[in-house]
Structure 1
Amino acid sequence: MQEGWLDETILSSAVSHAIRARQPARKRGTPMTRIVVLLQENKTPDYYFPTLAAWGAEIENRGHLRSAPPMPDPKHDRNAWVHFKMGDYTAATVQIDNDIVIPYYSWLAKQFTFCDHHFGLGTNSTSGHMLVIGGQTPTLRNPPPSSVWDLPTIFKHVERAGLSWGAFTGPDRYPVNHYTELGDPASQAHIFTSSDARSDRFIAMATQRTLPDFCLVWGPPGTRPDVEAGGRSSTRR
Structure 2
Amino acid sequence: MAAIPGHRVVVFIQENKTTDFYFPTMAAWGAAVANRGHLLEAPPNFDQPHDRNAWVHYAMGDYPALDAQVNNDTVIPYYSWLAKQFVFCDHHFGSGSNSTPGHMLAIGGQMPTLKNPPFTGPHPVWDLPSIFTAAEAGGVSWAAFPDGSGYPTKFYKSLATPPGSAEVYPPKDFIPMAKAGTLPHVCYVWSPAGYDEHPPHVSTPDYVTKGQNLVWDRV
Q: TM-score category by the smaller chain?
A: 0.7 to 0.9
* Larger mean Cα displacement after TM superposition, 165-174 or 118-127: 118-127
Q: Which has the higher helix share?
A: 2
Q: Which has the higher strand share?
A: 1
In structure 1, the residue matched to 2:215 is none
Letter in 1 for 2:65: A
What is the rounded CA distance, in whole Å, between the counterparts of 2:71 and 2:180 in structure 1?
A: 32
Alignment check: 8 A CA contact 2:144 2:188 kept = yes
Alignment check: 8 A CA contact 2:24 2:70 kept = yes
How many correspondences in the alignment? 196
Residue 224 in structure 1 maps to residue 194 in structure 2 = no
TM-score of the pair, normalised by structure 1: 0.71
In structure 1, the residue matched to 2:216 is none
In structure 1, the residue matched to 2:184 is 212
| Superposition deviation, residue 77 in structure 1 | 4.1
What is the rounded CA distance, in whole Å, between the counterparts of 2:88 and 2:179 in structure 1?
A: 23
Letter in 2 for 1:229: K
What is the rounded CA distance, in whole Å, between the counterparts of 1:83 and 1:214 in structure 2?
A: 40
| Superposition deviation, residue 177 in structure 1 | 0.9
Cα-Cα RMSD: 2.7
Letter in 1 for 2:185: D
TM-score of the pair, normalised by structure 2: 0.76
Alignment check: 8 A CA contact 2:50 2:97 kept = no
Letter in 2 for 1:139: T
| Superposition deviation, residue 40 in structure 1 | 2.5
1:171-200 deviation per Cα after TM superposition (whole angstroms, max 9, x unaligned):
221111111222333322211224xxxxx2
- Equivalent residues in 2 for 1:1-237, closer than 5 Å: 33-78=7-52, 80-144=54-118, 146-194=123-171, 200-222=172-194, 223-224=196-197, 227-229=208-210
1:62-112 deviation per Cα after TM superposition (whole angstroms, max 9, x unaligned):
222222212234343455445434434322221111121111111222334
| Superposition deviation, residue 217 in structure 1 | 1.8
Gaps of 5+ in 2: 199-206, 213-219
Provide the identity percentage.
59
1:98-144 deviation per Cα after TM superposition (whole angstroms, max 9, x unaligned):
12111111122233443332333322222222122121222222224
